[in-house]
Structure formats: C-alpha cells, structure tokens
Structure 1
Amino acid sequence: MKLNFRKSGSGQPLVILHGLFGSADNWFSIARELEKDFTLYLVDQRNHGDSPQDEEWNYSVMVEDLKELLNDEGLSEVFLMGHSMGGKTAMNFAIEYPDRVKKLIVADISPRYYPVHHQKILEGLNSIKLSEIHSRKDADDQLAQYISIPGIRQFLLKSLGRDRTGFYWKINLPVITENIEEVGKALDEDGKYEGPTLFLAGGNSDYIQQSDLQDILHHFPNYEVEFIDGAGHWLHAEKPAEVIEEVRKFLK
C-alpha cells in the first residue's frame, strides 16, 4: 500500500509513526524542531489520515506498508520512531527487518499484550450521525455524551474530514471497530532486535511500567528507557520539548 506521508528537513532519515486514531498531523509541532537535524518522514498508517483504507488491518500488513515506503524512497536504513500503535508497528518492523533500522525509538508502549480499552471511544465515534451534523460543534456535542475530556475529543475529531458533500471519517472506523483487538497484540515471543533502542515513557502513564522492563529486555537487549515527568500517554503533545531533547540526545 502506498502510504501518505509528509517529508521535510535534511540530514539522516527519521520516520515517525502515529498512534491509534491519529495521523501524521499529530507530530507537526515536533517536526518543526527535528527537521533542523533530520530528514523527517511523518507517515499516515493505513486506515488513518490521508492514507488508503483497506479491510486488512494488522501489524503484519502495516510493517509491509512501511517497507514499501522505504523502498519507494530509496531508504536502505532509517531512524524509526513510533508512538503507541505506531510503536508496535515500529517494534515489529525492527524485528522483521533489523538491517533497515539504525536506531529505534518507542514512545509509551511496551511489547506486551494490552487488553482492549477503547470501547467508550469507539462507541462515541460510532454514535456520531455524519449525515445529521452541520458543524464540528455538532460532532463534539454528540461525542461529549461519551467522552468528557475536551482534549481527547479534540484529538479524535481531527480525523473528521469535510468536503462539499459533508463530513466523513478519515479513519476507517468500521474496520478499526471490528478489528480493535489487533492493536493490543503482543510481539512474537521469539522476536528480537539488537540495535540501539530507546523507550520513552510518560511518567503519569501506565502503558510502560517497571514490570515491563524484563519483557523489553527480552526483545530489545540493547535498550534504555527514559520516563518523561508529568507526561501521560500523549507525551509528545504534553511535553514536546522534553521529547525533542531525548530524541536528539539518543539519535546523535
């Protein structure tokens, strides 16, 4: 699949993958700083953003999507970074194609299995009747019945597009809803990437815990972990300066 991406900057290539319900847009503010040091590729994964939609959606095909992008761009080796679902894609890619990844950064996700915990979000998104809304406020009002935190609603509604015929989802909401268990799948037990790997964890997030470190060591023996104080799961949005500092320090 030919993924949509935004390329900017100069230097060694750094590919960044967003998380579930997100898009390349989530990283634009950080990109403005990192593109001073790297050639950045901000990628929309399949069924997200402006990339194509497809019935097949799992880490195996997302890994192959990324490989196709690297091949098309003539990139034999890259720095690779992914957040949440994108971190799982990045980990799987590094294990499958270790010679293509110079260094790996995983933002607030571990290799373990995560039970489904997006039911309320999916329920809220599926409740929005696109044919009946006339503004983003209408969509926000409907979503507020399921999700009380405005910042989360604002993030989710970035995937709500609009053209002359009306509103539409940029995410493939039916396929994501049907296959949501794919997102939490653990890495294969035998999977291993021995290159330099940085795990960035939100200090206020429970996605990476001390109990995960042994599992991380099993899959990524050359790893280090940095906890970003005061950050939750969306650490790149909550503490961008700290994330940029850690990325620069690790990649240089």
Structure 2
Amino acid sequence: MEQVITDDGCALWSRVSGTGSPVVLVHGGPGWWDVFDKLAGMLADDFTVYQWDQRGAGRSDRRGPYTLARFVADLETIRNHTSQEKVHLLGHSWGAILALEYAQAHPDRVDCLLLVSSVGLDGPPPSYRQRVAEILAAEPCEDEWLARISTGFANRSTALSQARRLNTPRFEPNKECAEALLAEVRALPDRITPCGNVTSQTLIIHGAHDLRPPAGTDSLLAALPNAQRAIVPDAAHYPWLEDPEHFRRLTRAFLLRQAAYDATAVE
C-alpha cells in the first residue's frame, strides 16, 4: 500500500498487485472507497492491478474539489503511477461513469474499457428508485449505508451480510462528494457526442437481476463506437461477488484478447 500525490497535493491511497499489463480499477460511489480486493485477486495472475480510493473518502485525503474534471485528473495521476502510456480501465457503477469520462478525455491512454453495472447515459430509470425504496421499507436496518448497498444484491437472504463484508474495512461515506458529482453528471448538456471519442474496445458487463436493468445500457451500446455487452445471469449489481466464475471468465477473456492484440501490433 502507498500514497499517490496528485498535482494539487491530494494524497490518494493505492495498492498494486499481480504482474502483467496494467489494469486500473475505478470503484463506485461517489463518496465510497475501493472494495475490489476479490476482483483484484481474480486478475492478479495475469495483470498488474491498481486499486485506489478516490479523493474525499476511504483512505485518501478527505478534500475537494469534487468535480468531474478533478476526478478525471486524479485518474490520470493513477495512470501515470503505472508508468505505462496506456492502461486497461475497469469501472463499476459510478466508477463506470468516471472511467468513461476519462476515456473521452484521454482516448489514447485507454487500451480497453470495461463498464461494470453502469447506468445508461440518461441515468437510472424511475423504477430503480421505487424498487430501492420498497426494499428498504420491507427490510429495515439501523445502518442506512449498509441497507442501501444491500439493495444491489440479488439474494435477499444474504444481501445484508454481503454488504457488510463488502464494506469491511468501513469508512464514513462522503455525501457532499456524492451530491456534487452526481449533480454535475445530471447537468451535462450532451453525454452522447463525447462517446464518439472513445476508440478503445469496450465491454459492458451487467447483472441480469440488477435493479438498474441491462436494457438501460442500450444508450451506451449505441453511442460507443466499439462496444459490446455481456449479461451475467446469476448476479445483480456486484457480479464479481455474486457469480464470480462467470465474471472472471468474461473479464479475463476480454482483457487477454486485447493484450494479445497489442503484443501482435507491437511485433
């Protein structure tokens, strides 16, 4: 574990594992922290995996500014930390939005892009908020944060325990960060046109039982020049935990195929 310092002096927590071409993981939130230990373990035999906590939460400095431009710049700091010109980029949920924003701004620095449990370009459907409210009302929990995270698991009998394990170690969520970034995303006048800048191969991975349905990513498939989608049948919002073998096969095959193509291109 180490700290990576941004150009404005913010210390970002980071962890590096494995060996091979670099894969940078971009966690969800906003205002959350890296919960990718199991996912990193799936990839570490074939790739060098970079985990990090975004500014404002977890083990990184709790300081702003909380803007898309600043978070894209922070991700560029992590990319620089890999010492590689291009990286594979995997973003989950909010992290998929951030990874896409980065790929739009720096298309020449992204080898391939994986968007896991992303929402579409118009955000989640109204049915999502309604279903979350119904689950929270039916399954009360003293810990509001864990209760909300638990709504992302398909198996309701184990959802709360899964959420608790996912949030260990536990930090204080940053609501200010979340509200600022999500408001900025909602205010963007055009999210379709910038997708044309993303030249890398893109894989959208979505759990069949996600409360944000797979069809919600149709807009991403239409807007991204080189995108395909894969559905994980026995998962909701956290497919690497709910259906790990299927998720591992999908991600590993996609990443290794891209790495093999890059090696051939260099030769």
User: TM-score when scaled to structure 2?
Assistant: 0.72
Contact residue 22 and residue 156 of structure 1 kept, 8 A? no
1:146-161 equivalence runs, <5 A? 150-151=160-161, 154=164, 158=168, 160-161=170-171
1:128-207 equivalence runs, <5 A? 141-143=142-144, 150-151=160-161, 154=164, 158=168, 160-161=170-171, 169=172, 171-177=173-179, 180-182=182-184, 188-191=191-194, 192=196, 193-207=198-212
Q: 1:219 aligns with which of 217, 220, 223?
A: 223
Residues 202 and 182 of structure 1, relative CA distance in 2, 3 Å threshold = farther
Q: Which residue of 2 aligns with 1:76?
A: 85
Confirm whether residue 38 of structure 1 aligns to residue 40 of structure 2.
Answer: no
* Matched length: 224
Residues 6 and 92 of structure 1, relative CA distance in 2, 3 Å threshold = same
The amino acid of 1:49's aligned partner reads G
> In structure 2, what is the Cα distance between the partners aligned to 1:229 and 1:89?
25
Residues 199 and 60 of structure 1, relative CA distance in 2, 3 Å threshold = same
Contact residue 195 and residue 220 of structure 1 kept, 8 A? no
Runs of 4+ in 1 over 6 A off after TM superposition: 116-119
Task: Report the CA distance between 1:182 and its aligned residue.
Answer: 4.0
The amino acid of 2:192's aligned partner reads E
The amino acid of 1:181's aligned partner reads A
The amino acid of 2:217's aligned partner reads D
Task: Report the CA distance between 1:94 and its aligned residue.
Answer: 0.8
The amino acid of 1:209's aligned partner reads P
> In structure 2, what is the Cα distance between the partners aligned to 1:66 and 1:146?
29
> In structure 2, what is the Cα distance between the partners aligned to 1:184 and 1:233?
21
Q: Which residue of 1 aligns with 2:263?
A: none
Task: Report the CA distance between 1:32 and its aligned residue.
Answer: 1.6
Q: Which residue of 1 aligns with 2:3?
A: none
Q: Which residue of 1 aligns with 2:118?
A: 109
Q: 2:64 aligns with which of 52, 55, 60?
A: 55
Task: Report the CA distance between 1:200 and its aligned residue.
Answer: 0.1
The amino acid of 1:172's aligned partner reads N
Percent identical residues: 26
Residues 46-75 of structure 1: CA deviation (Å, up to 9, x unaligned): 222211222322322211101012223322
> In structure 2, what is the Cα distance between the partners aligned to 1:146 and 1:10?
36
User: TM-score when scaled to structure 1?
Assistant: 0.76
Q: Which residue of 2 aligns with 1:96?
A: 105
Q: Which runs of 5+ in 2 are unaligned?
A: 1-5, 133-140, 151-158, 257-267
Partner of 2:61, secondary structure, is coil
Q: Which residue of 1 aligns with 2:249?
A: 245
Q: Which runs of 5+ in 1 are unaligned?
A: 122-139, 162-168
Contact residue 108 and residue 208 of structure 1 kept, 8 A? no
Q: Which residue of 1 aligns with 2:12?
A: 3
> In structure 2, what is the Cα distance between the partners aligned to 1:183 and 1:234?
22
Task: Report the CA distance between 1:206 and its aligned residue.
Answer: 4.0
Task: Report the CA distance between 1:178 and its aligned residue.
Answer: 5.6
Contact residue 25 and residue 91 of structure 2 kept, 8 A? yes
Higher mean C-alpha displacement, 201-210 vs 72-81: 201-210
Residues 38 and 176 of structure 1, relative CA distance in 2, 3 Å threshold = same
> In structure 1, what is the Cα distance between the partners aligned to 2:229 and 2:223?
14
Q: Which residue of 1 aligns with 2:135?
A: none
